[in-house]
Amino acid sequence: MAAAAPTLPTPQREFTAAEVARHDREGDCWIMLHGLVIDITGWENSIGGGSPGTGAIHLHAGRDATDEFDALHQREYLLPPFLPARFVLGRVKGA
């Protein structure tokens, strides 16, 4: 029997896509993944390589990066220990 898909956290705080979009630069970098709002500030430069401000993740800073994430990772990477809960700020309103 196949393993069940992992259950993602369901934080109570909600953000609009417009609110997330304001966090689109080095030093203030949020992304949306599977309806979650994730603050990757401080480790965004280690994701996808590149020098500060040029890593692949910066192409999706402030936006939904779900398709790109799914192309490279299993959903389990959205759970601890891969993604510590402190980085999950909330969920996308309406997601």
Q: Give tens-digit pLDDT for 46-84.
A: 555 455 555 667 788 899 999 988 888 888 888 778 888
10 pLDDT band, cuts 50/70/90, is confident
Q: What is the distance between the alpha carbons of residues 12 and 95, in angstroms, rounded to a whole number?
A: 12
pTM for the predicted model, two decimal places: 0.79
The predicted model gives 23-31 an average pLDDT of 90
Average pLDDT, the chain: 81
Asked if the model's pLDDT at residue 22 lies above 80, the reply is yes
Asked if 58 and 29 touch (Cβ cutoff 8 Å), the reply is: yes
